[in-house]
Structure 1
Amino acid sequence: MALELDGQSIELDEEGYLVDLSAWTPEIAKALASGEDVELTDEHWDIINFLREYYEEYQIAPAVRVLTKAVGKRLGKDKGNSKYLYSLFPYGPGKQACKYAGLPKPTGCV
């Protein structure tokens, strides 16, 4: 599977996650999101950037519970809850947000 973007072919795995994590750009995030009819807002970017920083620090994509708690600490209780995260990423804040952030699928996600 591949994503065609600006004349380049970006390799994706069978679930649509980036194969080469270092190939990620914000444009790739936008293209992946638009393929799922999602327009990325500042609120989406808050979570995507948070995930990228988290991954850089811990070398793992957080499971939803960990993500929810960590977002609450960093961005406030109003954003650190599943209802808010699911409103942004209806296919699952862990899976969908990690895909847009160019990260591997979180462990524990089916």
Structure 2
Amino acid sequence: MTTTTIDGHTVHVNEEGFLTDPSEWDEDLAKSLAAQIGIDLTDEHWKAIRFLREDYAAQGETATLRRISTVGGIPTKQLFVLFPQKPAKKLAYVAGLPKPHGCV
């Protein structure tokens, strides 16, 4: 397990840069992570991030796009607008959670 510092936050990450300890995450860190991948967070982004973190706490794993859409109520097309190209991977990254199973 590697540690890195992002805007003054020392966090544990895996080889792909995903946080390995979700408790190290906070909203300021999310803003920094989003900026690193070119995303400016809006209220819609925060709705998706909060859903993903709450669902992770309840389920013990990072939700897939289908679950975010059906349970979280955020249409898949909107997730692609908010987190272009690889929404599940980018959303998990910004939310400080492991990459969802099945993501490449």
TM over 0.5: yes
Equivalent positions of 1:34-53 (< 5 A) are 34-53=35-54
Q: Percent identity?
A: 40
SS in 2 for 1:40: coil
Equivalent positions of 1:1-110 (< 5 A) are 2-6=4-8, 8-72=9-73, 80-110=74-104
Q: Contact 2:80 / 2:86 at 8 angstroms: preserved in 1? A: yes
Q: In structure 1, give the amino acid aligned to 2:68.
A: L
| Distance apart, 1:13 and its partner CA | 1.7
| Unaligned stretches of 5+ residues in structure 1 | 73-79
| Distance apart, 1:4 and its partner CA | 2.6
Q: Contact 1:17 / 1:105 at 8 angstroms: preserved in 2? A: yes
Q: Deviations over 1:9-66 (max 9, x none)?
A: 3232221211221101111111111011111111100000010110111111111112
Output the CA distance in 2 between the equivalents of 1:4 and 1:63: 26
TM-score of the superposition, structure 2-length normalised?
0.88
Q: In structure 2, give the amino acid aligned to 1:91.
A: Q
TM-score of the superposition, structure 1-length normalised?
0.84
| Distance apart, 1:82 and its partner CA | 1.4
| Distance apart, 1:3 and its partner CA | 3.4
Q: Contact 1:3 / 1:12 at 8 angstroms: preserved in 2? A: no
Output the CA distance in 1 between the equivalents of 2:59 and 2:19: 19
Q: In structure 1, give the amino acid aligned to 2:91.
A: A
